Amino acid sequence: MRIFVIGIGLLLLVVMVSPWLPLQPELIQLDKILQTPRAGLWLGGDELGRSVVDRLLVGARLSLLVAVLVVALSALFGISVGLVAGYLGGRVDQVLMRLIDMVLAFPGLLLAIALAGMLGPGIDNLVLALIAVGWVGFARLTRAQVLSLRESEHVLAARSLGSSPVYIALRHLLPLAYAPLVIEATFGIAGAILAEASLSFLGLGIQPPAPSWGSMIRDGSRYMLVAPHYVLAPGIALLLVVLTVNLFGDRLRDRLDIRRSPAKGV
């Protein structure tokens, strides 16, 4: 668990301090076009002689910003829908579940590609497209948790005392469902980073001259034989970040799942 926390901490540290680092991701140096890694150009140069490591760090900041925005807004909308569906039940639950089923009927990434294509390229439209796909997981998970808790004794007691549904949902239901929702958010960040890279690879995400790991992989694939560092650097970075976040989510799930945690004294 500790190594994953350290890995994510280092990633966040690099992203936070990158605006104050002397990075020049758009500096064109014609004498360093497709240069291999060396001192002063630690990950080599791209097709315009720009520093790959500078573009990698700036792209990490943009990818993490998109992922956090997508997960935060998806969680806000999805949890709200799940609370309403699970607590009210009846026709409201049926209507909302049919809406969720309609969204789930389409493959997530293909639906995001279609929405991004209709809305047009750009960070704002990219975030909207990913939110339109990502909220359903939070909604289904929240609804399942609420259905298992709404008939519990403390909820019935609060209802008999005249507490409002909003108060019951926020005070008595949501705090007990936070563990699976936090785990879902962790996996959602990894999925959003990968989805952003995929859409940017297709030209539907972050647009030039702003760097993105997906667009760097796309551009570097044309020079794979003469400059493999150009595509390997963002590809390995994407692999390591997504793998680290997913492993962190697995360990977090093991820690928060009381059914898997050994009882004290046993």
* Residue 33, both tokens: 């076009």
DSSP H helices in the chain: 2-17, 52-88, 90-104, 108-119, 123-149, 153-160, 165-168, 178-201, 213-220, 229-256
pTM: 0.87
The CATH architecture that domain 54-256 belongs to is Orthogonal Bundle (1.10)
Q: Does the N-terminal peptide bond of residue 209 adopt cis geometry, omega within 30 degrees of 0?
A: yes
pLDDT at 264: 44
pLDDT per residue of the chain (266 residues) written in tens, 0 to 9: 566 667 667 777 777 777 787 888 888 888 888 888 887 788 888 989 898 989 998 988 888 889 999 999 999 999 999 999 888 888 888 999 999 988 888 888 888 888 888 888 888 889 999 999 999 999 999 998 888 888 788 888 888 887 888 888 888 888 888 888 888 899 999 999 999 999 999 888 888 888 889 999 999 999 988 889 999 999 998 988 888 888 888 888 877 765 544 444 44
Beta bridge partners of 45: 51
DSSP class of residue 207?
P
The position carrying tokens 């949902």 is 169
Sorted by sequence, the CB contacts under 8 Å of residue 153 that are 6+ apart come out as: none
pLDDT at 5: 66
pLDDT at 73: 95
* Residue 31, both tokens: 């004498």
pLDDT at 31: 86
Residue type for position 230: Y
The string over 237-260, giving b where at least 16 C-beta atoms fall within 10 Å of a residue's C-beta and e elsewhere, is bbeebbebbbbbbebbbeeeeeee
The position carrying tokens 């007691």 is 157
